[in-house]
Amino acid sequence: MARKDKAKILQLRNRSLISLTNPKSSIAEQFRTVRTSIEFSSVDKDLRSVVITSPSPEEGKSTVTANLAVVFAQQGKRVLLVDSDLRKPTVHYTFHIENHVGLTNVLAKQTTLEKAVKTTRQENLWILTSGPIPPNPSELLGSSSMNALLEKAKNEYDLIIFDSSPVLAVTDAQVLSNLTDGVVLVISSGHTQKDSAKKAKELLESAKAKILGVVLNNKKEQDSQHYYYGE
């Protein structure tokens, strides 16, 4: 393995799960604020499934997704975090778990949801990793098997959170947004271009997605590292 690849894997493994490791920190509190905002953004409907995405790669959406899954579980909800980024999955690195079997195996009917789901250190939080990277991610995510998986998961869990591929790169997030109750868009301070954020929003709206709001990530600490604002 190349040195660059090893460094990237090490970086991913060190991804901060601050809501789990330091739940009393100010940043963990910000994630709880995001949680509350998401809940209030859908008061007219029971929120059971959410897609977390970003306009482009390297905007921190997987870190945000993982920490949101943790704080929802800490609230007492039974949460299933699904790594639906079938191109560059990272959830298994974040939670230090194996990824030999996961979402793609369930969708291909090679195993069941119950057998593929993994436990975590956080009570009430379960993980469905991506599984092997397929040649046709968008088709798999838009398949009848995906619909069946989601319906089955709703019988077992209070909330299903999808870590999805970036909007501008591929259509995966748009496909998932048709199946779920809402989408949260993560943008990075000083990184995400305004035009990119607007284009991502337009693409999600064209897919009939319900955009619950936006998380501004990587804000300087004195200005609050993470915060949320609605539509």
Question: Does the CA dihedral 48-54-57-61 come out positive or negative?
Answer: negative
CA 4 to chain centroid: 25
Using only C-alpha atoms, the chain has a radius of gyration, in whole angstroms, of 16
Q: Rounded to an integer, what distance in angstroms lies between the CA atom of residue 15 and that of residue 9?
A: 10
Task: Note the pTM of the prediction, 2 decimals.
Answer: 0.88
- Fill in the DSSP letter of residue 144: H
Q: Which pLDDT belongs to residue 184?
A: 95
- Domains assigned to the chain: 3-230 (3.40.50.300)
pLDDT tens string 197-209: 899 999 999 999 9
Q: How many CB atoms lie within 10 A of CB 139?
A: 12
Token code pair at residue 160: 């299903």
Q: Which pLDDT belongs to residue 68?
A: 97
Token code pair at residue 223: 């200005």
Q: Rounded to an integer, what distance in angstroms lies between the CA atom of residue 130 and that of residue 7?
A: 21
Q: Rounded to an integer, what distance in angstroms lies between the CA atom of residue 7 and that of residue 148?
A: 38
Through-space distance between the first and last CA atoms of the chain, rounded to whole angstroms: 44
Phi, psi of 167 (to 5 degrees): -65, -45
Q: Which pLDDT belongs to residue 139?
A: 94
The residues of the chain scoring below 70 in pLDDT are: 1-15, 43, 190-191, 218-231
Burial level of 71, CB count in 10 A (0-12/13-18/19+)?
buried
In three-state secondary structure terms, 186 is strand
Q: Which pLDDT belongs to residue 193?
A: 76
